[in-house]
Each structure stands twice: as structure tokens, then as C-alpha cells.
Amino acid sequence: MTDSARFTLISHILCPYVQRAVITLKELAVPYKRIDIDLTNKPDWFLALSPLGKVPVLVIDDGTVLFESEVICEYINEVNRGKLLAEDPLEKAEQKSWIEFASTSLNLIDQLYQAADKATFLQIQQQLEHLGQTLEDNLVRAEYFSNNKFSLVDAAFAPAFRELPLFEKLSGQHFFQHLPKLVLWAQYVLDRNSVIEAVSKDYQQQLMAFLAKQESYLGQLARAQVASKSSG
């Protein structure tokens, strides 16, 4: 990060969509400035800037505001002559289809956070497991999703790969740990420097603390885990 950067990324410490943009910036070694905001108390300047009131927002030094994580990632890739998407139109369109699939998965994960009870949680978990199986069936056994080269598809899924193991641990439910090609792919993605550096070192603790404050079923599980740790 630097102060003289062309790009300012308005962010939140835990937001998975922000992570996609950060991974892209880091993959391409693009300097940027990051501003984390509190989404429970959005600053007025942010509300004036962000058409949907959501992060990430990328502010370019000429004042242009970009929103929607995938639009931001594609733009950063394009203006830096990045190779994070294929050149061939069909191959690129196929990659974008899978990026949409990743976004659907993240939306379901959002619903998991909010599921009020176990039955709702399990219903969403089954939908996610089904998406995991579909991915497994479409994966070749390789490090990365497309032609074994790190791409925006990997960046789009990375935040889900980071979150789901914690949910598996808390709930005792399978999301994807039983799918061998998916597990291998997720590990390669999670070991990538850009992915590691897309969140702060205390991300896992921050995520647990966030979960423990939620009224949802996941919140109950997180509070039970915190309580059992402090009593043991």
C-alpha cells in the first residue's frame, strides 16, 4: 500500500468481495491505498460515494468510482495488461461463467451467516454442498481452475475457501472437505501469497469475534465454541 497510489480501495476487514479485489491488486503488484470502514456505521462520505452502499469500491485518482468486485477485478487486470483472464473470447466467457458461480456460492454463504435456526442452516448447507459437487465434477486435478494458471476464477473462489473450513468445524457439517479435487484446488489457492496477504493476520479471530456477535445459528455455534475454549 502507498499514499501516492492511483487506486483507493474502500474495504471492510472481513468482506469476501473485497478480498477478490485485493488478490487481483497483489497478483499484479499494483500499488493501492486501502481504507477499511465500519459497515454497521457507514460514514457519510462513503454513502455519498457508493451507489449501492456496499464495499468494495475502487476510487481512481481522477475521481471515477467503480463498484461490484468483479468489475473492479477485471478493470485492474485490463489496465495492467494482466493475464488473469484468458484472451480467447470463448475461454474468457467460460471463466466469467465460473466467476458467476463463485458469486452465487458467496451469496449462499451470506445466507448461512444469517440463518436463524439449524433447519435453515442445513438447507443452505445442502445447496452449498451441491454446488461443491458440481465444481468437483468440473475440475481437472490441477493446482488452479483454468489451464492450471492462477486466474480471476481462483481469486473469485478464494474467500469462500477461507471461510468454509471454519463453518465445517463449527457445525460438524460437510461443505467440501469430502471432495478431493476441490480440497486440493482450495489448498493451492489458499497457499498463494496474494490470497494469504488479502486479509490481516488476525482474520480468523476477527471472523470468530464477528460470528459470536450474530443472533443467527452460526452465532450460537461460535459463542458455544468461545465458551468451551475459555472454560477448557
Ligand X SMILES: N[C@@H](CCC(=O)N[C@@H](CS)C(=O)NCC(=O)O)C(=O)O
Bridge partners, residue 10, by sequence: 35, 57
Q: Amino acid identity of 35?
A: I
User: Binding of ligand X at residue 59 (CB under 6 A)?
Assistant: no
Determine whether 73 is an active site residue.
no
Q: Give the nearest distance from C-beta 53 to ligand X in angstroms.
A: 5
Measured CA to CA, the distance from residue 62 to residue 64 in angstroms comes to 6
Taking residues 199 to 218 in sequence order and writing x for each that binds ligand X by CB under 6 A, - otherwise, the string is --------------------
Phi, psi of 57 (to 5 degrees): -125, 135
Q: Give the nearest distance from C-beta 17 to ligand X in angstroms.
A: 4
User: Binding of ligand X at residue 55 (CB under 6 A)?
Assistant: yes
User: Binding of ligand X at residue 56 (CB under 6 A)?
Assistant: yes
| Beta strand residue intervals within the chain, DSSP E | 7-11, 32-36, 57-60, 65-67
Per the residue annotation, which of 10, 14, 15, 199 is the catalytic one? 15
- Among the listed ranges 51-59, 73-81, 121-129, 145-153, the one in contact with ligand X (CB under 6 A) is 51-59
DSSP 9: E
User: Binding of ligand X at residue 186 (CB under 6 A)?
Assistant: no
Site for ligand X in 60-99 (CB under 6 A): 68-69
Strands of the sheet with 57-60, listed across from one edge = 32-36, 7-11, 57-60, 65-67
Tally Cβ neighbours within 10 Å of residue 2.
8
Residue with cell 460437510: 174
User: Binding of ligand X at residue 17 (CB under 6 A)?
Assistant: yes
61-98 burial, b at 16+ Cβ within 10 Å, e below that, comes to: eeeeebbbbbebbbbbbeeeebebbbeeeeebeebbeb
Among 45, 53, 100, 137, binds ligand X (CB under 6 A): 53
Site for ligand X in 24-43 (CB under 6 A): 39
- Among the listed ranges 47-55, 83-91, 181-189, 207-215, the one in contact with ligand X (CB under 6 A) is 47-55
User: Binding of ligand X at residue 15 (CB under 6 A)?
Assistant: yes
| Residues engaged in binding ligand X (CB under 6 A) | 12, 15-17, 39, 53-56, 68-69
- Active-site amino acid positions: 15
